[in-house]
Amino acid sequence: MKKKLSTGDVLIKVLTPIVAVGVALILGMILIALLGKDVGVAMGDFFEGALGNPIRIGDTLSKVAPLTFTALAFAIASRCGLVNIGAEGQFYLGGIAAGLVAIYAPGLGIPGIGGAVVLLLAIIAGFIAGGFWGLIAGWLKVSFGANEVITTVMLNYVATFLNKYLIGYNGPFYDGSGNPQSEAFKVSFERGFLVDGSDMTIAIILGLLALVFYYIFFFKMKKGYEMRVVGLNSTAAEYAGIKVKSNALLAMFLAGGFGGLAGVSELLSAQSRILPDFSSNYGFDGIAVALLGQLNPLGMGLSAVLFAVLKSGGLAMGNKGTISPYIVNAIQAFVIILVVASVFIQDEYTRRKLIRQAKATKGE
Amino acid sequence: MKQKKGLIIGVIVVLALLLIGLFAPENFKNTLASFIAQDLRIALPLAIAAAGLVFGERSGVLNLGAEGMMLTGALFTWIGTAMFAGNPWLGILVGMFSSLLIALLFGFLVITLRSNQTVIGVSMNILALGLTSTIYRVVQSMEMKITGFPSLSDLLAKIPGLGDVLTNKTAIGTQLALVDIPRIGSFLDTIFSQNIMIYIGIILIIFLNFVLFKTDLGLKVRAVGEYPKACDTMGINVYKIRYGSVLFSGLLTGLAGGLLVLDIKTFVENVTAGKGFIAIAAVIFGKYTPIGALGASLVFGGAQAVQYLIQAIGLKAPSDLMNMIPYIVTIVALAGFIGKTHVPAASTKPYTKE
């Protein structure tokens, strides 16, 4: 299905993200210097915190799974021509659903509900809850034409407040401890996967499987193909007999579901109970991961690792008090801007090449 | 026809308020007056931002970076006000300048480089959140003295000669002389004794409505958003009009952010909390007109002011659930009214000059 790419095209495609990340990091350092902080110290804290020893590396890698899932939440919708900014809210819904299963399912006394089964139920519940949250925005889009960017952002805020309510002092799942929080999970993923003593769990394998699913679904299955046609040209899709609306709904459900899985993997790996604001911005990080990876499964996997390092290092700088961890958001934005803007450079490159070719043919 | 409808609604609202002021029980009047005052206070930044965004939208650029521009304007108004010894007027100029820079970057990316408006808009928000929160943590410890804008009554009291006639000085502060009118006086005072920016804002919005629909410039902006190619043929510079509209929307969203900070008199990380997006929803809900956006902002502001109303009545509801209301109302408004408006035909479509 792919047209032959020339070496120049491939080179540009591979170089763009690398250059973008490099430039974004330099801009980040300039920003740190402008704010009167020592760049050397900041960088030291950054790398020490993200990659300082095996356990730190494991902790950093534990962030790959939620980042992969939120990236997929953006990418799946994007492939169908929708812009899902709602991964943050879907993360909350998925986390809440999975968390509740992990707290209450083991106590129900149903025979056969052991650790592994509870985890499986938690994953399913998280997927459905996140998917439902995505589906709301999808439904508002196809039935009423409501801009999904705005509705998903609004739903993010609704989800945050819903979570705060559920585990707050008046909420149904408050544990009565004096702090707004739920009871502790009775079952969670086993930590120390691959790296002893780290937060890494089997969730990273789930993230990997999700990327494989993404590849098979969009590039080997009819339904995924249909969805991509809708994304590229919905009018053409309609003429070809593809149901645009049902594809959009399915895309938002799947996107939301993966956003939910991000919440599941973070909560049942790195945390022990549902807390207010448990997401720490994963939903928005996913957008940058997806765009840097150019919606390509391999690219997204690699950029999830890169952003895990960024996130981990940023938090370390924040904890040491060198600079706010929010600096990572600024760097992320630089990356997105540079990657998106580079499309212009690629277009110019193609345009000039065509002009050159045209001139050459004329000259013959 | 449309203007007549607006006039009729206005007359009905004023009459209803007068009737309530004259005949309703004292308790009800106080609650209603403070609800209206809260609504105006909350709606002002939304309406100002939305009025600016109307211009961007009408010229064919959907500025989804409004949230970020508002946030930037908010932080720098806060810093600027502190720099200028608490002077809100100079402070807000600093804020507007900062959001103008973000708008310039946004404009360059989506107009000149023709990048995807949605993605760039979203990245502007991430950028602004990152920058403002990082800078905020550095300047956090600065001495910040924020006074905010004077109220109408305070300002009137300062007019030499007339000041004493127009206002009354009482134990609770300066009130409008209106307060002496029997029955209805204090009701009107609560509604009208507002931050001076509310009046300036409303006049500005009416003026912008006039510019958009009654002037040559407004016609150009609207034409560029409908059919840029035809405009280009007619000798209108599409890029110039779009840059102008985007920069103007940046200025006003920055002003809106500044108003927000000067109203609550402090800055916190992500202080805008989605208000930029609500302003975009107000543009759509208000049918892409500045006055319509003002009306929509009053609806959204009312959705938030309901919290105070419920507290005033003495109902107990979990605050987290109450906090959801403005966001849910925005979603419902967006879903319920969107089909009934005309979206500018060239919205979100970059223009390439051939």
**What ipTM score was computed for the predicted complex, to two decimals?**
0.90
Cα A324 from Cα B137, distance rounded (Å):
6
Look at residue B50 in the predicted model and tell me its pLDDT: 96
Contacting residues of B for A344, CB less than 8 Å apart: 113-115
Contact B281 A153 (CB under 8 A): no
Look at residue B80 in the predicted model and tell me its pLDDT: 92
- pLDDT digit string, tens, across residues B266-298: 888 889 999 999 999 999 888 899 999 999 999
Mutate to test the interface with A, among B137, B322, B331, B332 (most CBs of A within 10 A): B331
Contact B318 A168 (CB under 8 A): yes
Q: To the nearest whole percent, how much of chain A has pLDDT over 90?
A: 52
| CA nearest to B331 within chain A | A151
User: What is the nearest CA distance from A44 to chain B, expressed in angstroms?
Assistant: 18
> Mean pLDDT lowest for which of A86-100, A200-214, B37-51, B304-318?
B304-318
Mutate to test the interface with B, among A133, A149, A166, A322 (most CBs of B within 10 A): A149
Token pair, residue A151, equals 């509705």
Helix (H) or strand (E) holding A92, with range, is helix A87-104
Q: Give the architecture-level CATH label for domain B29-149+212-340.
A: Orthogonal Bundle (1.10)
Contact A157 B137 (CB under 8 A): no
Look at residue B217 in the predicted model and tell me its pLDDT: 93
Q: Cα torsion for A154, A156, A160, A166, to the nearest 10°?
A: 90
Contact A336 B131 (CB under 8 A): no
Contacting residues of B for A341, CB less than 8 Å apart: 109, 113, 115
Mutate to test the interface with A, among B119, B142, B330 (most CBs of A within 10 A): B119
What DSSP assignment string belongs to A199-229? S--THHHHHHHHHHHHHHHHHH-HHHHHHHH
Look at residue A4 in the predicted model and tell me its pLDDT: 60
- Among A146, A153, A156, the residue with its CB nearest the CB of B338 is A146
Contact A287 B323 (CB under 8 A): no
> Mean pLDDT lowest for which of A232-246, B84-98, B187-201?
B187-201
Contact A337 B120 (CB under 8 A): yes
Q: Is the pLDDT of residue A253 over 80?
A: yes
Contact A140 B129 (CB under 8 A): no
Contacting residues of B for A324, CB less than 8 Å apart: 133-134, 136-138
Q: To the nearest whole percent, how much of chain B has pLDDT over 90?
A: 47
Q: Is the pLDDT of residue A94 over 60?
A: yes
- pLDDT digit string, tens, across residues A152-192: 999 999 999 999 999 998 889 998 888 999 998 988 888 87
User: What is the nearest CA distance from A280 to chain B, expressed in angstroms?
Assistant: 13
- B110: DSSP letter: I
Look at residue A302 in the predicted model and tell me its pLDDT: 94
Contact B115 A341 (CB under 8 A): yes
| Across A140-144, average pLDDT | 91
> Mean pLDDT lowest for which of A4-8, A102-106, B146-150?
A4-8
| Across B184-201, average pLDDT | 81
* Inter-chain CB pairs, A–B, below 8 Å: 144
- pLDDT digit string, tens, across residues A22-44: 899 899 889 989 888 888 888 88
Cα B91 from Cα B93, distance rounded (Å):
5
A7: which residues sit within 8 A by CB, 6+ positions away? none
Q: Is the pLDDT of residue A1 over 50?
A: no
Q: Cα torsion for A285, A290, A293, A296, to the nearest 10°?
A: 150
User: What is the nearest CA distance from A37 to chain B, expressed in angstroms?
Assistant: 9
* Length reported for chain B: 354
A127: which residues sit within 8 A by CB, 6+ positions away? A94, A257, A258, A260, A261, A264
Helix (H) or strand (E) holding B232, with range, is helix B228-233
Q: pLDDT tier at B1 (50, 70, 90 boundaries)? A: very low
- Among A156, A165, A330, the residue with its CB nearest the CB of B320 is A165
Mutate to test the interface with B, among A38, A78, A150 (most CBs of B within 10 A): A150
Cα B90 from Cα B101, distance rounded (Å):
17
| Across A212-222, average pLDDT | 95
Contact B334 A147 (CB under 8 A): yes
Cα A237 from Cα A259, distance rounded (Å):
27
User: What is the nearest CA distance from A35 to chain B, expressed in angstroms?
Assistant: 7
Helix (H) or strand (E) holding A16, with range, is helix A7-34
Contact A330 B120 (CB under 8 A): no
Q: At what angle do helices B26-58 and B66-83 cross, to 10 degrees?
A: 110
Which is more confidently placed, B151 or A242? A242
| CA nearest to A317 within chain B | B134
Token pair, residue A143, equals 């039935």
* Length reported for chain A: 364
Look at residue A339 in the predicted model and tell me its pLDDT: 86
Structural domains of chain A, with CATH:
38-322 (1.10.3470)
| CA nearest to B116 within chain A | A340
User: What is the nearest CA distance from A145 to chain B, expressed in angstroms?
Assistant: 7
Contacting residues of A for B269, CB less than 8 Å apart: 326
Look at residue B159 in the predicted model and tell me its pLDDT: 76
User: What is the nearest CA distance from B130 to chain A, expressed in angstroms?
Assistant: 4
B223: which residues sit within 8 A by CB, 6+ positions away? B230, B231, B236
User: What is the nearest CA distance from B212 to chain A, expressed in angstroms?
Assistant: 24
Cα B204 from Cα B290, distance rounded (Å):
9
| Across B190-205, average pLDDT | 86
Please list the alpha-helical segments (H only) found in B59-184: 66-83, 88-107, 117-139, 152-157, 163-166
Q: Is the pLDDT of residue A7 over 80?
A: no
How far does CA A253 lie from the centroid of its chain? 15
Range(s) within chain B of domains with CATH label 1.10.3470: 29-149+212-340
User: What is the nearest CA distance from B131 to chain A, expressed in angstroms?
Assistant: 6
Look at residue B111 in the predicted model and tell me its pLDDT: 92
Contacting residues of A for B274, CB less than 8 Å apart: 153-154, 156-157
Look at residue B84 in the predicted model and tell me its pLDDT: 85
Contact A324 B134 (CB under 8 A): yes
Cα–Cα–Cα angle for B32, B38, B44, rounded to 5 degrees:
135
Q: Which of B136, B111, B2, B135 is nearest to B60 (CA)?
A: B111
Contact A153 B120 (CB under 8 A): no
Q: Is B309:B328 a contact under the CB 8 Å cutoff? A: no
User: What is the nearest CA distance from B322 to chain A, expressed in angstroms?
Assistant: 9
Cα A73 from Cα A141, distance rounded (Å):
17
Q: Which of A248, A333, A239 is nearest to A285 (CA)?
A: A333
Instruction: State the average pLDDT for chain A.
Output: 89
Contacting residues of B for A83, CB less than 8 Å apart: 118-119, 122
Contact A284 B109 (CB under 8 A): no
Q: Is B272:B132 a contact under the CB 8 Å cutoff? A: no
Contacting residues of A for B121, CB less than 8 Å apart: 149
Cα A88 from Cα A98, distance rounded (Å):
15
- pLDDT digit string, tens, across residues A308-338: 999 999 888 888 877 888 888 898 899 889 9
